[in-house]
Amino acid sequence: MILNDVLKKIKAKRKIFAVLIDPDKFPEQNLLKIITAMEAASPDIILVGGSLVTKKTETTVEILKKHLHIPVLLFPGSLLQLTPNADGILFISLISGRNPELLIGNHVASAPVIKSSGMEVIPTGYILIEGGTTTSVEYMSQTQPIPASKTDIAVATAIAGELLGQKLIYLEGGSGALNPVPRDMITAVKQNISIPLIVGGGLNTKEKVKDACEAGADIIVVGNAFEKDLSLLKEFKEVVSSF
């Protein structure tokens, strides 16, 4: 079970490094290049998903599973991004927003398919944080992010997510965020929940990755940062593994 492995690593005081693959940004020929880079970096988890992905999810997952022995989790931006070939799925509720489709609507529509797929399902409370620009997630979800200065709202939202039964809390600056989730917000949220904390968005330098780790993130997710420089994958993994 992927979640059990995550919990064991966190209990052992280890940080977890996850790589987010957007199928729209990595056609097959480029995907093979990133597979080579991931073999060198050896991330703990691969997430597959994006805001606009349609029919490429299944092919992307198949290629990753063929070449790598790393758990592949779906990180779906829509109902179209489902494939039973993945090892599991982050069953995401956008708890920072008030769009009913992303709180429960899509979940009801997809639940029978997901249950019958046999994938591991990990309920995840997704909290979008303002990152200095309008991100794809904000635009496509039609929700407002929590302002970066409103730590108290982020903390209360994360607590609510845990009390509702979420197994993970994901603080996200959004794809292409100019600024990562503030360090003090990460720390405050971590101090107020007892479930693993994922942090992603805007983590495009080793220093920012280190800050997120030091602030209390259990799982670090990087995506856009390595699209132009695959060597960053290994550098980021080294930073995360140093904790």
Annotated binding site: 22, 51, 170-176, 201-202, 223-224
Quick check: 240 and 209 in contact, CB under 8 A?
A: yes
- CA–CA dist 146, 141 (Å, integer): 14
- CA–CA dist 26, 71 (Å, integer): 19
- CA–CA dist 104, 94 (Å, integer): 9
Q: Which residues make Cβ contacts (< 8 Å) with residue 76, sequence separation at least 6?
A: 49, 57, 82, 89, 90, 92
Name the binding residues for Mg(2+): 22, 51
Name the binding residues for sn-glycerol 1-phosphate: 170-176, 201-202, 223-224
- The CA distances from residue 218 to 11, 37, 98, 116, 189, in Å, are 10, 23, 26, 30, 12
